[in-house]
Amino acid sequence: MTVPSVEFLLFSALVAVLFHASKAKAWRLLVLVGANLLFLMSFSTSPTAFIPFFGFLLLGYVGIRTVQSRRLPSVFAALVVTVVAVFCWLKQYAFIPSAAFPAFPYLTIGLSYIFFRALHLIIDAHQGSLPARVGPLSYLAYTLNFTSLVSGPIQRYQDFERPPSADGVALDLAAVGEALERIVIGFFKVTVVSSALFALHRSSIHALSADQPFVTRVALGLAVATIYPLYLYANFSGYMDFVIGVARFFGIRLPENFDRPFASENFLDFWSRWHITLSTWLKTYVYNPLLMALMSRFPAPRLAPFLGVAAFFVTFFLIGVWHGQTSEFLIFGLLQGLGVSLNKLYQIEMAQALGRARYRALCAVPIYRACCRGLTFAWFSLTLFFFWSSWGQIGQFVHALGVAGVIVLWIATTAIATVTLAAYEGARDRLLRVGWDRRPLLVHCARTAIDTSAAVLILLTNVPPPDLVYKGF
């Protein structure tokens, strides 16, 4: 079943009707688990394809119950290592001999997100921070949540289990309107915006040739480099909008995964706005424990900032490596780690050289902020070459541009991103200052117009949407 799609919407609507037929928790859990299993079955008709998938689910559940029963460090460590090893095996990472993999095709859709949820439950169970013992129905409802199985977001179990009334998100008319708005905007981003950007990106790749004039090659290279981040954002954030809206009908408040990432003024800030639940998960379960371990091993206060740099590198290297099993993703992870660690090191050195007050004053200068946005976007677009292409494609791209073309390309990417993002942020700020009744006019009028236009364009666009980029992760 494709997400987002009309078919998925109709399926979700039917499940919502059944879900609200009773307020009994057991009934609602049964409905969610049944919906999760039906959704999962839409990806394969082969019974054997589900054996490794459900085996991994069982491993996670046994691990949680074992840790809840016996909070022994040795048992906990063995379980974490086992879960990570089995995940890498099922995902067929390149460092594992191919002969060790199962000889039959099997389902891996959503396995990465199940991995994060199961590991989070095992760690929290060991720390004693789960609200209660996790039952089998609650476990399946949470780990297989059909609204977020394919590509997240990664929600904590404690938040999933919280009753809707606990945080003021009961399903009323206003909430229904907000949910429908998120669905329409998400559908529009995926089916219209990302489709157009994807087509433009692919056509630019195919058009690029070493035989073209230098200016033409750089212009096409610029299109290849700058369009993909926008496509990825429209595709992935559109999916997030869609499923956050759908989940709202079940009283589930899925966490936000994006917060205007291209407004980021450094790479650390970028990862606090892009795929937020992934970076938050790894900061919680990798960065913080690693930093504490390093600080206990090297307690000198002057080393603390640099230990943070090292912990940032490891954490964001793992973010990159998690995305894929090939050597290209090792480079993608290396560039993510370098981006955040060098960014942190730069902040440390600038604060020491200028003093914190003068450094803060520098960061408030509009031209400096604009240049930082441009550099952040350019670095991210560079890293994404190892996300979407193969070594062969990267070689063809470099050959077509030449060394001079590559240098000019990244200078141009930085310059154009600097000017464009500064203009966008300035226009947005001015629009938000125009208000009525103490609220931005954009909220009163433009949202209705945008939502209506998006709905009309969805109906008029008769093009199959591109597949979700994160579907295979």
What is the rounded average pLDDT of the residues 267-285? 94
What is the rounded distance in angstroms from the CA atom of residue 46 to the CA atom of residue 421? 48
pLDDT range class, residue 319, cuts 50, 70, 90: confident
The pLDDT, as a whole number, for residue 5 is 83
pTM (whole model) above 0.85:
yes
Chain mean position to CA 468: 12
User: Positive or negative CA dihedral for 33, 34, 39, 41?
Assistant: positive
The pLDDT, as a whole number, for residue 470 is 73
Query: Do the Cβ atoms of 52 and 285 come closer than 8 Å?
Result: no
Task: Look at 118-132, 139-153, 164-178 and tell me which has the smallest mean pLDDT.
Answer: 164-178
Give the residue, 229 or 325, on which the prediction is more confident. Answer: 229
Give the residue, 12 or 170, on which the prediction is more confident. Answer: 12
Above 90 in pLDDT, residue 457? no
The pLDDT, as a whole number, for residue 462 is 62
Using CA atoms of 32, 25, 17, 178 in order, give the dihedral in degrees to the nearest 10.
Answer: -90
DSSP result, 406-442? HHHHHHHHHHHHHHHHHHHHHHHHHHHH-EETTEEHI
Give the residue, 218 or 444, on which the prediction is more confident. Answer: 218
Percent of the chain with pLDDT over 90: 67
What is the rounded distance in angstroms from the CA atom of residue 158 to the CA atom of residue 121? 10
The pLDDT, as a whole number, for residue 322 is 86
Q: Give pLDDT tens digits for 153-179.
A: 999 999 998 765 444 445 677 778 888
What is the rounded distance in angstroms from the CA atom of residue 109 to the CA atom of residue 282? 21
CB atoms under 10 Å from CB of 167, counted, come to 10
Across the chain, how many H-helices and E-strands are there?
20, 2
Buried-exposed string 60-88: b where 16+ CB fall within 10 A, e elsewhere:
bbebbbbbbeeeeeeebeebbeebeebbe
What is the rounded average pLDDT of the residues 405-434? 92
What is the rounded distance in angstroms from the CA atom of residue 152 to the CA atom of residue 132? 24
Above 90 in pLDDT, residue 320? no
The pLDDT, as a whole number, for residue 166 is 42
Mean of the per-residue pLDDT values for the chain?
Answer: 89
Above 70 in pLDDT, residue 438? no
Q: Domain segments of the chain: what residues?
A: 6-167, 261-433
Closest-CA residue to 383 (of 333, 341, 417, 418): 333
**What's the token pair of residue 30?**
């049964």
